[in-house]
Copies of this chain bind each other. A is one copy, B any other.
Amino acid sequence: MRAKPVQRDPLLVRLREGVEDFAASTPARFAITVFGILVLIFTGLFLLPISTTSGETPPLIDAVFTAVSVICVTGLATVDMATYWSGFGHAVIFVGVEIGGIGVLTLASILGLVISRKLGLRTRLLAAGDANPLRMRKGPISEGQAVRLGETGQLLRTVATSVLVIELGVAALLFPRMLIQGVDPLSAAWQSIYYSAMAFTNTGFVPTAEGLTPYETDPWFLTVLMIGVFLGAIGFPVIYVLARNIRRPKRWSLHVKLTIVTSLVLLIGGAILFFFLEYDNPSSMKGMDPGQRILQSFFISSMARSGGFATLDMHQFDGSSLMVVDMLMFVGGGSASTAGGIKVTTLAILFLAAFAEAKGVDDMEAFERRIPPDVLRLAVSVVLWGATTVAVSTVLLLWITPDERLDYILFDAISAFATCGLSSGFTQSASEPAQWILAGTMFFGRIGTVTLAAALASSTRRRLYKRPEERPIVG
C-alpha cells in the first residue's frame, strides 16, 4: 500500500521534498512565490509604527517599495532610508538584505542544479561539472544518477558560511577606519557590519544620514567597499571555486575564467571612460588630483555594475557618463550572484558568437574550450527579456511623467531592473504610480534573469520529426 516509505518520512522531510518538487517542476513560479512571500512579510514589518522614526504607519507605497528594494537587494528608495526608518526599521532592513542576498544565491544555485539536470536529460551532454559547486565535489554526474535536490540544505549552509566569512572580513577592515573617524566603538561595530552586508549583498543602503560623506575621498574605505561589492557580484559558483583553487588556475572552470575576465574588462573599461567623460565636469571630478580621479572612476565603475553606493551625485553627471552607467548596470554582475542585470557571461557569449562569426569558425570558443551553441540561444533569450522589461518600464514611466527627461528615467528604470540602486534622483521625486512601476521593475528584474534560464531550460519537448531547413537573409 506504499505506506511504509511515507511513514518513515517526518513532516519536515515531506515539506522539503514538496518544495523541491515545486522548484524543479516550475522554477519561475517557485521563485515568484518565494520572493513574493518575502516581500509581503517585510511589507508587513515596515508598516509597523515602530519601524519609522516618526512612530507613524508609513504610506503603503513606501513600505512596499522598501520591502521590494530590500528583498531584491536593489537599493533604490522612495524615502531617505537613513532618517526615515527607526533602529528597529534598520534591523529589519539588515535582516532583509541578508535573506534577500543569501536567498538569491541559494535560489540561483538550486535552479542551476535544475538546469544542469534538465540539460543533461535534454542534450545528453554533461553540464560543465565544476561550474556548479555541488557538481564539483561529486564530479561529473551521469544521466542515470539524478542529483537530489535534498542537498538544498547542505547548499544553503555552504552559502551562509561563505556569506558570514566574507561579510565579517569586510567589516573587520572597515571597523578600525571608523574608529579613526571618531565613531564610538559600538556604533562603529554596527555600522561596519551594516556597510559590509550592504556591500556584499550589492544593496548599497547606508546606515547614517551623512552616508559615505566622511569617507568619500578615503582610499581605504572605498577600496574595501569595492572588494565587498566585487565578491558579491562575482557569483557564488566563482567564489566556491576560487576558495578552493585560488592558486591552481588550471582547475578554474570556463565559467570562472569568463566571469573574472569579463568583470575586469568592464570594471577597467568603465573606469577609463568615467575618467575622461567626467574630467572637466565641475559638479563631479574637476579640480580633483589624479589619484583621487582614478579612485573615484573605479568606484563609479564598480558600483554601476550593481553595488549602488555613490560618492558623487549622479544627477550632476554628464549625459554621456549616465549612458555608460546605463550600459554597465544593464550588464550587471556574475551569474548566481547578488548582482543583477543580464550577467557578464551573457554579454561574453554574445561577443564570442560575433567573434566566431567574424573568424568564420564553426564553434564559439574561449580559453581553449568549445561552448555549445544552445548557450547562445539562452543568452539571447535573457537579453531579450531584459531589453523588453527595461523598454516597457521606460515607455510607461515616460508616458505618465511627461516633464522628466529620458536621461533620468532610463537611468532609474535600468537601475531598478538590474537591482543596482544608483539613482538620478527620479525615484524619490516620482509620482506614486511611477514608484509602483519601479517596484514592479525591481521585482521582475530580480526574479527574471535568475529564473528565466531555469524556466526555459526546464521545458523540454522531444520532436520525432525534423522540418525541412531554410535560411532567411538577415542584416
Contact of A452 among B365, B396, B475 (CB under 8 A): B475
The verdict on A320 contacting chain B, using a C-beta distance below 8 Å, is: yes
A307–B86 alpha-carbon span in the complex (Å): 58
Contact of A467 among B119, B363, B463 (CB under 8 A): B363
What's the interface size class on A, roughly? 35 or more
Are B345 and A473 closer than 8 Å at their CB atoms? Answer: yes
Are B349 and A474 closer than 8 Å at their CB atoms? Answer: yes
A327–B406 alpha-carbon span in the complex (Å): 14
- Residues of B with C-beta under 8 A to A460: 360
A371–B471 alpha-carbon span in the complex (Å): 6
Given contacts A357-B377, A461-B361, contact A342 B475 (CB under 8 A): yes
Q: Which residues, 418 to 475 on A, are CB-close (under 8 Å) to B?
A: 449-450, 452-453, 455-461, 463, 466-475
A225 to chain B, nearest CB (A): 26
Can you list, as one digit per residue, whether each of A341-381 has a CB less than 8 Å from chain B (1) or not (0)?
01101101111011011111111110011111111111111
Are A475 and B461 closer than 8 Å at their CB atoms? Answer: no
The verdict on A295 contacting chain B, using a C-beta distance below 8 Å, is: no
A87–B393 alpha-carbon span in the complex (Å): 48
Given contacts A406-B405, A469-B372, contact A474 B343 (CB under 8 A): yes
Are A336 and B473 closer than 8 Å at their CB atoms? Answer: yes
The verdict on A177 contacting chain B, using a C-beta distance below 8 Å, is: no
- Residues of B with C-beta under 8 A to A363: 463, 466-467
- Residues of B with C-beta under 8 A to A360: 122, 456-461
A320–B335 alpha-carbon span in the complex (Å): 32
The 8 closest A-B pairs by CB, nearest first: A453-B475, A319-B398, A320-B399, A360-B459, A382-B475, A320-B398, A360-B460, A335-B473
